[in-house]
Amino acid sequence: MNHPTLRELTEAVHGLAPRPSHRCDACDSTVARLEDEFDLLRRADARLAPPRRAARPRAAWLPFAAAAAVLATIIAVIVVARPHVEPPRLAQDGPKKDPTNAELIQAFLDGKPDAEKMLRARGAAALPALADARLRKRDAKDYEKLLALHFDLKRATWGDRPDAQELGSKLEKKMDMGVAGAGLEDTLAFIRDFTQINLVVDPGSDSSGGGSLTLRDSSLRATLDSLTAPCELDYDFRYGVIWIARPDRLWADPKPVAPPAPLTDAQKKAARAWVAKLGSESPDERDEAARELRKLGSAALPIVEEGAKSKDAEVAAQCKGLVAALTPRAVATPLPAANAWAAGELKGADKETADKLRSIRLTIDQQNSGLAGILDYLREISGLNFIVDAAVEAPAKISLKTNDLLMSHAIELLSLPYGLDVKIVDGAVTFVRREK
């Protein structure tokens, strides 16, 4: 694929050459940016041009000029004669501190745009405070603003996986719903059957709340907000399902990210070479350079920040975007990670078992069933061996209902609520206590 050069695209946008017939996402994005820059240049040029005014007869403007000169002289005398007074300053105890998430949320509700930008920049680290504010706010206008921002930050943590994107679209669909005297579990079961979205309540949460609820033309996410708030619960996309739990189970206090290992001299040299290629006329080369810099992570941030000050406009623009992507942020600690087998490199029979867990999709409808009985069901479907460590005291009864869910996610849902972990040993899926 032959991409037009950056110069050819610039000349086309400025009307100095015909538009190339070639089309692709990378070139279209470049054209859009060049058009924005050209529009800014036109507007700046219009502001700098001196306004044209009709010339007045000398006799008409001369008295005004004389009066202005006298007034300027009087003001200058007053300023010189007035003693200097130090303006009052706010007392500060120590260095300036960053605002807390709670302070930013209040500023956001007060309509300060910078507060929203800072909350979005903090990402997952702001979710605990937003979840708490959502449950405390009763003003309808503030509540809706909190819900919208909270959902945006939650969805941003889901990534670009196809299942997450599909789920995000489903949650925006409108629905009518009327519930009278039903519990949360029963209501969620109705929504699950109606939408085919897997909804699972954390067994450690109190879902006994219920009541009457009537919604008209409401999005599914707004419906979930209305259902979970009275029970002081929240929801997020975990383990392939919408997981409903207490906010402190979903979003613990954020932990600071450990500083990255410094780049070696060879990596620094390579990073500077990639920064230079960000100004290439080839979109493919620019994309490759950006990918390689992302791989180096936040350790490459000082070099990318240098590039953001480059005289090459293309390099500077690309680096400014990378600075935001590479800047480390605090990460909220989610529910405990399960499936230790997924973190390591597997071989032979263990790898074949892992591949099956990631490929088999199944529907589960188990109510008040024992763990051993559910594993027997999974064994029949998959042909895999499931073993429960003899030291594990599994709960007597488990309820789980899902539709078209990956088996890898299903065993997460079985293991997490009860403090179990999953390992693959000699091709067998083994449930053990997490401390083991």
pLDDT at 233 over 80: yes
Domain of 382 in residue numbering reads as 340-433
- Of the listed ranges 37-46, 220-229, 275-284, 294-303, the least confidently predicted one is 37-46
Bigger pLDDT: 205 vs 305 = 305
Which among 254, 287, 305 is the end of a domain? Answer: 254
pLDDT (0 to 100) of residue 53: 47
What integer best gives the mean pLDDT of the chain? Answer: 77
Its pTM stands at: 0.56
HEC secondary structure over the chain: CCCCCHHHHHHHHCCCCCCCCCCCHHHHHHHHHHHHHHHHHHHHHHHHCCCCCCCCCHHHHHHHHHHHHHHHHHHHHHHHHCCCCCCCCCCCCCCCCCCCHHHHHHHHHCCCHHHHHHHHHHHHHHHHHHHHHHHHCCCHHHHHHHHHHHHHHHHHCCCCCHHHHHHHHHHCCEEEEEEEEEEHHHHHHHHHHHHCCCEEECCCCCCCCEEEEEEEEEEHHHHHHHHHHHHCCEEEEECCEEEEECHHHHCCCEECCCCCCCCCHHHHHHHHHHHHHCCCCCHHHHHHHHHHHHHHHHHHHHHHHHHCCCCCHHHHHHHHHHHHHHCCCCEECCCCCCCHHHHCCCCHHHHHHHHHHCCCEEEEEEEEECHHHHHHHHHHHHCCCEEECCCCCCCCCEEEEEEEEEHHHHHHHHHHHHCEEEEEECCEEEEEECCC
The pLDDT-based confidence of 170 (bands split at 50, 70, 90) is confident
pLDDT (0 to 100) of residue 58: 47
pLDDT at 226 over 90: no
d(CA 403, CA 364): 7
d(CA 434, CA 414): 13
pLDDT (0 to 100) of residue 310: 92
Percent of the chain with pLDDT over 90: 10
Q: Are residues 170 and 199 in the same domain?
A: yes
Q: Are residues 163 and 233 in the same domain?
A: yes
In a domain, 114, yes or no: yes
Q: Are residues 243 and 132 in the same domain?
A: yes
Assign residue 207 the CATH number of its domain: 3.55.50.30
Q: Are residues 320 and 353 in the same domain?
A: no
In a domain, 335, yes or no: no
Q: Are residues 126 and 9 in the same domain?
A: no
At 361, list the tokens: 């999709």
Q: Are residues 376 and 307 in the same domain?
A: no
pLDDT (0 to 100) of residue 435: 63
* Span 102-113, average pLDDT: 89
d(CA 416, CA 239): 10
pLDDT (0 to 100) of residue 278: 92
pLDDT (0 to 100) of residue 24: 77
| Number of domains present in the structure of the chain | 4
Bigger pLDDT: 409 vs 78 = 409
Q: Are residues 250 and 269 in the same domain?
A: no
In a domain, 86, yes or no: no
pLDDT at 347 over 50: yes
d(CA 301, CA 293): 9
Q: Are residues 130 and 236 in the same domain?
A: yes
In a domain, 96, yes or no: no
pLDDT at 436 over 70: no
d(CA 344, CA 342): 6
Q: What residue type is 342 in one-letter code? A: A
pLDDT at 331 over 50: no
Closest CA to 310 of 267, 283, 263, 275: 275
pLDDT (0 to 100) of residue 269: 94
Centre a 10 Å sphere on the Cβ of residue 337 and count the other Cβ atoms it contains: 13
Which among 220, 254, 288 is the end of a domain? Answer: 254
pLDDT (0 to 100) of residue 339: 63
In a domain, 7, yes or no: yes
Which among 227, 254, 281 is the end of a domain? Answer: 254
Give the pLDDT confidence of 292-304 residue by residue, as tens digits: 998 898 899 999 9
pLDDT at 63 over 60: no
Give the pLDDT confidence of 24-36 residue by residue, as tens digits: 777 777 777 777 7
pLDDT at 81 over 70: no
pLDDT (0 to 100) of residue 256: 54
The pLDDT-based confidence of 418 (bands split at 50, 70, 90) is low
In a domain, 27, yes or no: yes
Q: Are residues 212 and 131 in the same domain?
A: yes
pLDDT (0 to 100) of residue 393: 66
CA angle 361, 364, 365 (to 5 degrees): 160
Highest-confidence range of 162-176, 194-208, 294-308, 421-435, by mean pLDDT?
Answer: 294-308
Closest CA to 166 of 179, 151, 155, 181: 155
pLDDT at 307 over 90: yes
The pLDDT-based confidence of 416 (bands split at 50, 70, 90) is confident
Q: Are residues 319 and 380 in the same domain?
A: no
The pLDDT-based confidence of 87 (bands split at 50, 70, 90) is very low
Q: Are residues 248 and 274 in the same domain?
A: no
Q: Are residues 194 and 122 in the same domain?
A: yes
